[in-house]
Structure 1
């Protein structure tokens, strides 16, 4: 299972989200077809652009609970003070991807930042 975790500022567009996902995949030499889902944190539940991007990409969007994000925070690479203060994790995108993949999840690298959106790719089950 491979998941793209999404973090963003408020008011982003679906095209902002898609651009971040595409850029993150390209950075790892991956195609969109490699993804199983998009994931984000509870704090982003009302950010419609993430869900519109998921629909456009034909991918489900998984909303991870605050507890799930905090449980995997030690596995994040990036550190954002704003994210820590607002969401309780140093990287919503990285923690969301890790939490969605579950046990054995591994980030392929630090989050990719494209304008107002961050995207991190996590792979599950030791397949990497």
Structure 2
């Protein structure tokens, strides 16, 4: 099962979020394998993120920046912007790991486009 973590600027278009997901996928990941989209609590009502989850037919979950601290040691990417604004090295990676639970592991570092970051975590077993 795959979890997709998303970070974005306010007002990011659905198409930009979907483009970041496509950028993060590789030849072995199918969009239909995504079970959950996860993000930071302040972005949980962003229209672009909500619409992307709706289009993919998946659940949208969110986590606080305080919760991000519990997975900080497992994050692969350090973003100065994420550290400054959200006190986490990577919103997308932290969200994916938290949504996946204790057994989740990142498939690689997050990718980004002009407005969105995206990271995938694989989960063996049930989601958090």
TM-score, with length taken from structure 2: 0.90
- Unaligned runs of at least 5 residues, structure 1: none
- Unaligned runs of at least 5 residues, structure 2: none
5 Å-filtered alignment, 1:1-128, equals: 1-25=1-25, 27=26, 29-125=28-124
Q: For the residues of structure 2 that align with 1:91 and 1:59, how far apart are their CA atoms?
A: 22
Q: CA deviation at 1:28?
A: 5.3
Further displaced range: 103-112 or 43-52: 43-52
Per-residue Cα deviation, 1:97-119 (whole angstroms, up to 9, x for no partner): 00000011100000011221110
For 1:38, what is the secondary structure of its paired residue?
strand
Aligned-CA RMSD value: 1.5
Q: For the residues of structure 1 that align with 2:120 and 2:27, how far apart are their CA atoms?
A: 9
Q: For the residues of structure 1 that align with 2:10 and 2:16, how far apart are their CA atoms?
A: 12
Q: For the residues of structure 1 that align with 2:59 and 2:36, how far apart are their CA atoms?
A: 5
